[in-house]
Structures are given as structure tokens and as C-alpha cells.
Structure 1
Amino acid sequence: MRSATDPGTARWSVLRVSGPSMVPALRDGDFVLVRRTRPGRIRPGDVVVARHPGRTDGMLVIKRAARPENGGWWLLSDNEFVTSDSREFGAVPDAAVLARAVLRLRDPCRVARIPKKR
């Protein structure tokens, strides 16, 4: 995920999605409007931005919050064929969950809500 502004410091940020892990809800190259939030405000089914727990370079991931775990969240990709999520790196600590995605911006003429996973 590439960031126009780091959601760790700004209340609202626009981030660019990189990779296929969230297809079909989000595609490579989409932009998302995210709002910084506290972990207590995350709900299962929300799309969230978090710091990758296994990386020291501060890499951000965008995943769907599946369920709360002890002091953190189990995050999953929407694309079942991509396993770079909690199945690979385990639960993400609450402090690493930075923001909740609010809107998908595919192009300036098409603004849409992020669909719920069925």
C-alpha cells in the first residue's frame, strides 16, 4: 500500500492500494479514503489499515477485520487466494491498527462505498 499521507499522524488520509489481496472490494491502483481510529471503534467486517506486524520498515497493509483476538485483530484478505494476512502473520496488535477505510476512489468520477463481504 502506498500512502499519500501516513494515517498514523493524520485524521483523514488517502492511500493507494497496491496488490490483489482485497479483490473484489478493492483493486490494485484504487485509492481509499481512511480515517484514523481507535481499536475499540473497529467492528468485524470493517476494512482497516494496519502496520504489518512482521516488518520493521513500517509497511502498511489493508485488510478486512475478521474478529477480535486477545489484544488485537485477526485480519483477512478478501481474495481467498492471497494468504498474506493473519493466516501468515497472526493477529495484529491493537496498536498496529491505524485507520478504517471509508470510501473507495477508483477514479475521480466514481466514488463508491466499500462493499460488505457476503
Structure 2
Amino acid sequence: MTSSDWLSALALIAVFALMIESVRQLRRRWVLVKVEGVSMEPALREGQEVLAKRTRRIAAGDIVVVAAPDSQLGWADLKRAKAPWWVKRIAAGPGEPMPGSGEPVPPGHYFLLSDNPAGEDSRRHGPCPANLIVGSVIRSF
């Protein structure tokens, strides 16, 4: 092989490595989730997909992607990597009054509600720890 062949091969390898790193960086920043169930109707319908940006900057009114709680244990001992994802709306943040009780949301937690009263949310499982919120929905498809 000539030196120009080696350079071409090295350039191809570099481009491939950059593409892999770009995809890895995109996955660290964005997540695509399919909406399942009717809990977020009418805002989001079953089968729609939402694009969420991984962020800790969230506020009441935002729609977020969150690791779903265990049906028996709630948010306790939740293994984030194994949990399915929920799409819910933030009803109250830390220190704000929880809907229904008026008690303040504990520090480091958020009170999540479904848009459709038939859905499961913080009314059943309690306030969600902030570290289980994956990101804020920025677009639906």
C-alpha cells in the first residue's frame, strides 16, 4: 500500500469514529419515547412519540419523561435502567403545595400528574425523586 492509501484508510477510520461518538453524544442528550396508554390524553395520544432533552431544568407545567415506579414499592429501590418510562406533567416542584393535600413537595422531589385522571401518577405513588426524571419533552410526533 502506498502512503496515500494509508492516509485514506486512516481518514475513513477517523470519520467512522467521529460518527460513533456523535451518535453517543446525541443519545446522552436526547431520548425518544413512545407514549403508551391514555394517561396523557388529550395532550398526547397513545402511539405518539416524544423527544425529550435530558436536563435538570424543569418546572411546573413541563411534560417530562420519568422512570416509572414499581407497582408495589413505588419509587423506593427503583433501578432506573430496568424501569419502563412514563410521560407525565409536573404539577408541583420542591416546596410547592401538592395538589389535593396542600402539603409542600419534599426537597429533591416533584409531584407528577397525568392529564387524564385515569392515569397512574404521584397521587398513587407519592412525589417522584428528581434523579428519576430523565428529561423534559420538547416535541411530539
Query: Could you say which TM-score interval applies, normalised by the shorter chain?
Result: 0.7 to 0.9
State the TM-score, normalized to the length of structure 2. 0.63
Secondary structure of the structure 2 residue equivalent to 1:63? strand
State the secondary structure of the residue aligned to 1:10: helix
Sequence identity of aligned pairs in percent?
39
Count of residues in Structure 1 that have an aligned counterpart in Structure 2: 94
**CA offsets 1:44-67 (integer angstroms, 9 cap, x no match):** 000001112335541211100000
The normalised TM-score by structure 1 is 0.74
Over the residues paired in the alignment, what is the CA RMSD in angstroms? 1.3
> Unmatched 5+ residue regions in structure 2?
1-26, 71-77, 94-104
Q: Quote the residue 2:140 is aligned against.
A: 104
2:112 aligned to 48, 57, 75, which one? 75
Name whichever structure is richer in helix by fraction.
Answer: 2
For residues 25-77 of structure 1, the C-alpha deviation after alignment (integer angstroms, 9 at most, x for no partner) is 00000011110011xx1010000011123355412111000001212100000
DSSP 3-state at the match of 2:28: coil
- Higher Rg: 2
- Distance in 2, matches of 1:27 and 1:89, equals 23
Q: Distance in 2 between the 1:79 and 1:53 partners?
A: 18
**Are 2:59 and 1:18 aligned?**
no
Q: Which runs of 4+ in 1 moved over 6 A?
A: none
* More strand as a share of residues: 1
